[in-house]
Structure 1
Amino acid sequence: MSAPDEAGYATAFPRVLRRFALFAIAFSVVSITTGIFVNYAYGLTTLGPAAVWLWPVAAVGQVLVVLVLAELAGHMPLAGANYQWSARLVNTGFGYTVGALGLLYGAVGLPGIALVGLAPLAATVVGLDAADPLTLLVIAVLALVVAFVVNIVRVQWAARVNNLAVFAEIVGTVVLSVLLLALWATHRGSTPDGGHGLAFLTTANPGTPLADGIVGGALIGIFTLVGFEAAADMAEEAVDARRTVPRAMIAAAVISGVLGMVALIGFTVAIPDLGAVEASPVPLAAIAEFWLGPALTAVFLIIVVFSMFALLVVAAASNSRLLFAMARDGLLPGSGALRRVNGRTATPVVALVTSLVVCLVLLAYGTLDGAAFTILVGATALVPYLIYLLTLGGYLARRRRLRALGAGSFSLGRAALPVAGLAMVWLVAVVAALTLPEAFRAADYVVLGGLALTGLWYVAVLRRRLRDGTAGLPARSSGRPEQEMETA
């Protein structure tokens, strides 16, 4: 085992991920194909076609967030990114809370994508009954197992899947939407509504209160444009991480924002019959099938399924690195096993298997009680924004500490406080939108329940471990021990 680095850790992973692979990881987690496909119906039915103009609002807000996180990634390129940043800026207890929210997000989000998103589409593509719970369960289990096996075998396999996913995302959203837009422009008179104009993009549903419509329309972007920090979760496996990781995060956020807007405009303008599309369980498929026919639409659905699978692959990798990072600091039950990295595959096998088991348990629960599982999945919309909010709060409170944490390749300089301040305003607005409405109240209770369990473990076990030095961040190259950090 190598000597400790400047962060106080012995090197655990080989550095094999280069710039494009890191970009692919971040881009695949954001997954505009998955996000737009799953969330488009909600925005369309609440606000109407005008919902597309709230996408750039979310994109700008998230670019502000990613700029701050990129600065942190450049200074602290460590696995379990948000946990590490929060712990080193504030203290381990604060970082533990942020990390626990990240584990909740991964534990529910992965089976949610597999069961609610990937499984019905995959069943439809292969001609199975997409309404049969057993069929959906089998497909979801297979998808999760294969995604985790890819990660167990070697991280390069996961990187190759995500490299392909970049091109699938572009073909499945941008190319398709531009094609639909071109078909609409040349054959618009053949549509049931007689061919609407570009002013259609400003149409709002008159029956929805404006405030509810704005929140609903914004959720297309809010639900989709998250997860770009997955590249930072893989930082200890990145080549020249201080430079490549921040650039990958920023590029993924900006390119996803731009391409997502292009896709939304193309799909929305090409709506042939607004009433029929709103009534469809899969609006984007209904739009595609009108213009392309069932055969080419099936190809489109296959691309969407692959994008969702790639999202599972990289999310499994990211979640396991968070488990590994927190276990390395002794914060979790079974930390000794969870922090092991297999010498042959160079992957955290125990962390990956543990994450898979948790996902499968929640998947079984979701199959038995679909209504409760829907609430759990709904909570995952709020959790990443709570993580961002807490991380940026730590950044604003302790930014001066960055200099003591090592030189970073990316700095906001004098723009740091204005950018972080605007990002905080955005995050507060999003968290309010995802917690205050009555429709999200059940999901709020799930998050509060998760935080309560986190608190019980902290009070019962972790607080003592931190006090006696058997858990927490290692002494860093500056020689400042963790116990000093806890009292700072």
Structure 2
Amino acid sequence: MSPWANLSLGFTYLSPVVGVYTLFAYALATGGPPMIWSFLIVGIGQFMVALVFSEVVAQFPVAGGVYPWARRLWGRRYAWMTGWVYMVALLVTIASVVYGAGPYIAATFGFTATVNTTIVCALVLLGLATAINFMGTKVLAMAALIGFTAEILGALAVGGWLLIAHREHDLGVLFDTFGTGGGGSYLPAFAAAALIGVFQYYGFEACGDVAEEVADPGRLIPKAMRRTIYIGGAAATFVCLALVLSVTDIAAVVSGEAADPVSTVLDQAFGDVGAKIVLLVVLLSFLSCAMSLQAAASRLAYSYGRDGMILGSSLLKKFSQARHVPPYALVVAALVPAAIVLGSKFSTDAITKIISFASLGIYIGFQMVVLAALRARLKGWVPSGKYTLGRWGLPVNIAALVYGVIAIVNMAWPRTPDSPWYDNWIVALSGLVVIGTGLVYMAAHPLHGRSTAPYDDAIPKDPVKS
């Protein structure tokens, strides 16, 4: 992969269009226009996480991302759990992305979005993403570049036109809560609405998931990670700003009378034909996002298999030298999301519950690496790759951990007191179920203890005394 292709992989995984278009209505209704400031706050927090990751990947440019990083920083068991949580979250996120594209596909091609049509559309999109990945790293790189270019140009064109020709408010509206605080403190409403920012800023780690497919990864991947935050964050904020300023009746969105402000704005600003063109760009963004997620998940599964850490390692570790892809790991990254999508046929509520874990799991995986890096520093680890933070390493690491814990608490916080307790606590419960399942698996199949691949070698060891 070229440096730009590596950046494009992280960007299309982060996908400003997918993140903003999916959660804009919820965030605006929950916190009003000031929810846009969450992009700045979360962007700073995740940038610190990216800086920690940059130091780690510069020293250990190994395929698989958070799993091998945690392995080298801490040890085999800790790494197994880190990768397990992140793997489940990735596979569920793939399902949520392709499933979420269903209504946009229906709107683009003019049919009704039912459960059945949404499932079919999701499976077709998943199949297309899988086919692109199976074509090899070069094709994946080209597809990521195309997706990156289309999404950037689309975001600029759509946002620019909305601000020029369809702006309904001035910038002062960004400080108007429209009563979403309920007469009391605005903080709870903002914290809930800030999930749009929390859900937006991950994907940069995908640049490191394919570390062994990039020339000079210790130097180039840290740059790609940081650029993903810069460019992706700026694009997401710009798209959100344009939408906020273009919503004619924000009060109606807050009250629930206008449930789909994005489609309304696009129809008003571009007309039927123009709106369909915009939707085609949106669909390309969904495809690129699913494709990049699959690439990240397959490299993680391959990394597990290569280290002999999980059942089925003999297949997962296989690697096609012709196409530079792990074929069986890609099959896993297709079949599991497909099964989750099909499960929505039997219970749409069930898939909602499963997907509720996705972002929480990714943040937990992130913070397990950040914690491992902090522990390693305190035990004497001095980053020695081509990118280091120097004396800023420790304070940035601590700040990244504090931010991550706050974000995890915010995601897991119960916000539906009128619902049954298990629905109110569904995000936290889903996280506990995944972690508990991982612990049971580790106890039943302790393959991690037999792995001979390098581990716990970041921390300097005392010389053996004769």
The TM-score, its normalising length taken from structure 1, stands at: 0.88
CA deviation map 1:5-62 (0-9, x unaligned): xxxxxxxxxxxx0100000001111100100000111110001111112211111111
- Indicate the residue corresponding to 1:85 in structure 2: 69
Indicate if the aligned counterparts of 1:18 and 1:244 stay in contact, CA closer than 8 A. no
Matched, 1:165 2:141: no
Indicate if the aligned counterparts of 1:331 and 1:472 stay in contact, CA closer than 8 A. no
CA deviation map 1:379-432 (0-9, x unaligned): 112111111111110000003778688x41110101111111111111111111
Letter matched to residue 428 of structure 1: V
Q: CA deviation at 1:298?
A: 1.2
Q: 1:317 aligns with which of 288, 295, 303?
A: 295
Indicate if the aligned counterparts of 1:86 and 1:95 stay in contact, CA closer than 8 A. yes
CA distance in 2 between counterparts of 1:20 and 1:207 reads: 41
- Indicate the residue corresponding to 2:420 in structure 1: none
Q: CA deviation at 1:263?
A: 2.0
Letter matched to residue 101 of structure 1: V
Letter matched to residue 44 of structure 2: V
Aligned CA distance change for structure 1 residues 251 and 401 (closer, same or farther; 3 Å):
farther
CA deviation map 1:165-216 (0-9, x unaligned): 112221232321121111135xxxxxxxxx5432112111314442331112
Aligned CA distance change for structure 1 residues 381 and 205 (closer, same or farther; 3 Å):
farther
- Indicate the residue corresponding to 1:454 in structure 2: 438
Specify the SS of the correspondent of 1:368. coil
CA distance in 2 between counterparts of 1:425 and 1:87 reads: 22
Aligned CA distance change for structure 1 residues 282 and 156 (closer, same or farther; 3 Å):
farther
Matched, 1:437 2:414: yes
In structure 1, runs of 5+ residues without a counterpart are: 1-16, 186-194
Indicate if the aligned counterparts of 2:169 and 2:246 stay in contact, CA closer than 8 A. no
Letter matched to residue 46 of structure 2: Q
Q: 2:108 aligns with which of 125, 138, 162?
A: 125
In structure 2, runs of 5+ residues without a counterpart are: 417-423
Indicate if the aligned counterparts of 1:277 and 1:287 stay in contact, CA closer than 8 A. no
Aligned CA distance change for structure 1 residues 402 and 28 (closer, same or farther; 3 Å):
farther
CA distance in 1 between counterparts of 2:253 and 2:181 reads: 18
Q: How does 1:201-350 map to 2 (within 5 A)?
A: 201-209=174-182, 210-277=186-253, 279-350=257-328
CA deviation map 1:204-242 (0-9, x unaligned): 131444233111221111011112100100001111111
CA distance in 1 between counterparts of 2:283 and 2:331 reads: 23
Q: 1:410 aligns with which of 387, 401, 421?
A: 387
Specify the SS of the correspondent of 1:263. helix
CA distance in 2 between counterparts of 1:343 and 1:330 reads: 20
- Indicate the residue corresponding to 2:117 in structure 1: 135
CA distance in 1 between counterparts of 2:7 and 2:293 reads: 14
Letter matched to residue 420 of structure 1: N
Letter matched to residue 136 of structure 1: T
- Indicate the residue corresponding to 2:419 in structure 1: none
Q: CA deviation at 1:283?
A: 1.9
- Indicate the residue corresponding to 2:4 in structure 1: 20
Letter matched to residue 134 of structure 2: I
CA distance in 2 between counterparts of 1:159 and 1:139 reads: 24
Matched, 1:200 2:184: no
Indicate if the aligned counterparts of 2:32 and 2:180 stay in contact, CA closer than 8 A. no
Matched, 1:99 2:77: no
Indicate if the aligned counterparts of 1:26 and 1:228 stay in contact, CA closer than 8 A. yes
CA distance in 2 between counterparts of 1:422 and 1:476 reads: 24
- Indicate the residue corresponding to 2:39 in structure 1: 55
CA distance in 2 between counterparts of 1:343 and 1:425 reads: 42
- Indicate the residue corresponding to 2:158 in structure 1: 176
Q: CA deviation at 1:461?
A: 1.7
CA distance in 2 between counterparts of 1:306 and 1:401 reads: 46
Indicate if the aligned counterparts of 1:174 and 1:260 stay in contact, CA closer than 8 A. no
Letter matched to residue 451 of structure 2: A
Letter matched to residue 67 of structure 2: Y
CA distance in 1 between counterparts of 2:240 and 2:263 reads: 13
CA distance in 2 between counterparts of 1:396 and 1:93 reads: 17
Q: 1:32 aligns with which of 13, 16, 19?
A: 16
Kindly report the root-mean-square deviation, in angstroms, between the aligned alpha carbons of the 2 structures. Answer: 2.1
Letter matched to residue 379 of structure 1: F
| Aligned residue-pair number | 449
Aligned CA distance change for structure 1 residues 66 and 262 (closer, same or farther; 3 Å):
same
Q: CA deviation at 1:247?
A: 0.5
Aligned CA distance change for structure 1 residues 457 and 408 (closer, same or farther; 3 Å):
same
CA deviation map 1:123-155 (0-9, x unaligned): 11011111x211111111111111112111212
CA distance in 2 between counterparts of 1:183 and 1:57 reads: 29
Q: CA deviation at 1:66?
A: 0.6
Aligned CA distance change for structure 1 residues 55 and 466 (closer, same or farther; 3 Å):
closer
Letter matched to residue 413 of structure 1: G
CA distance in 2 between counterparts of 1:331 and 1:475 reads: 12
CA distance in 1 between counterparts of 2:455 and 2:404 reads: 33
Q: 2:403 aligns with which of 422, 426, 449?
A: 426
- Indicate the residue corresponding to 1:188 in structure 2: none
Indicate if the aligned counterparts of 2:209 and 2:296 stay in contact, CA closer than 8 A. yes
The TM-score, its normalising length taken from structure 2, stands at: 0.92
CA deviation map 1:104-123 (0-9, x unaligned): 112211111111x2111011
Indicate if the aligned counterparts of 1:52 and 1:261 stay in contact, CA closer than 8 A. yes
CA distance in 2 between counterparts of 1:477 and 1:428 reads: 26
- Indicate the residue corresponding to 1:395 in structure 2: 373
When structure 1 is superposed on structure 2, of 172-181 and 100-109 the one drifting more is 172-181
Specify the SS of the correspondent of 1:309. helix
Indicate if the aligned counterparts of 1:382 and 1:434 stay in contact, CA closer than 8 A. yes
- Indicate the residue corresponding to 1:471 in structure 2: 451
When structure 1 is superposed on structure 2, of 146-155 and 279-288 the one drifting more is 279-288
CA deviation map 1:354-402 (0-9, x unaligned): 2211111111112221101111111112111111111110000003778
- Indicate the residue corresponding to 1:366 in structure 2: 344
Q: CA deviation at 1:72?
A: 0.8
- Indicate the residue corresponding to 2:331 in structure 1: 353
Specify the SS of the correspondent of 1:367. coil
